[in-house]
Structure 1
Amino acid sequence: MDEVLWAVGRASGVVALLLLTVSLWLGIVTRSGRPLPGMPRFSVTLLHRNVSLLAVVFLVLHIGTLLLDSYAKLTLTDVLVPFLGAHLPFWLGLGTVAVDLLIAVTVTALLRRRLGVRVFKAVHWLSYALWPIALAHSIGDGTDGTSGWMLVLAGASVLFVLVAVLWRVSAWFLETAGARRSDAEPSRRA
């Protein structure tokens, strides 16, 4: 049974990381104001929310199976308090920090209407810290973290997110371009 728990724990961690990567990418795309080809903007927003919630499900599966696995020997303290773990405390602590950030982002997203847009956006910016911390945890603490396939997967994830961020801060970013046009119009009239 422990072998199954160990395998499910490892696999669910990788799937959670991939879903967090896609979620971050979709969040960047959603914020751009442009739809994906063939999808209206509201569909991208719904997809972002659903992928994010699915990432939470796989993260709960990841933590739950490793808590039950006698080989991993993960404790509730390891999950709740960063950097106190017996095995690789720094890397495990990064996972704990990522979970804490994900809880904050998820709770504020679910309570968005009650908390208001300002609080939601302020906390949601933590996603930009959450993702690289989770990635570092995967590489540093994961059994397969330094294997070739995992490093390729991590590198592809980084590239995927960097391209989206570069696109977002570029001149072709819709909101930036719109702001530039608005700023330029009064000077043309004068």
Structure 2
Amino acid sequence: MSSNTARDYVESYVGESDDYLKTEQPRYDSNKPMAQPHTEALEADPQPEPVKASDHYKLHLRTQNPIPSTEKNDTPATTTATTKTSTAEKKEPVAVEWAVRDFKEQRNEIHETSLTICADLHEALFTCFKDGSWWDKAKMCEEQKQTFWKCYNTQKRFLKDVNYKGPVTSPEEDRRILQEAYKLRDKLDAKEE
């Protein structure tokens, strides 16, 4: 057997690492008392003074204008006017939030209605992808896709322009708009034939 085999090398390496661990491993004797850590330096450091509660609450005071006001009209009437405007400012974000919510709901309604009006074309597009010929699939069902998206975008643009399901429209007006949207779809179908 030769002395230069891979196995011999691995065994010698393992033996060397075992020797290293034996020499470098810390020893703990439970009978010896533990040395006390040196705490003199910690005790010499001055302790910071505790923060007074009144100072803590000053952190949350209102910010004051560092530039003094040149107006001498700081009467209680002007202060009440400022508090009324500040409460009006507090109410405004709620109105903005409602406007954003109304806009999102209207956008979702327009999307759903456009899909409903063009549902047969949407179904034809999915059927093409699922059961179409290999040539249609290779062309990504381009003809059906163009037809559907033309219908969908036209309906979406029309419904948006007439403010369908807007915050100020009535249900009767929305029904009338929906009938007009179906008539528009019929016109588009007649134009393609």
Q: TM exceeds 0.5? A: no
Bigger CA radius of gyration: 2
The TM-score normalised by the length of structure 2 is: 0.22
The TM-score normalised by the length of structure 1 is: 0.22
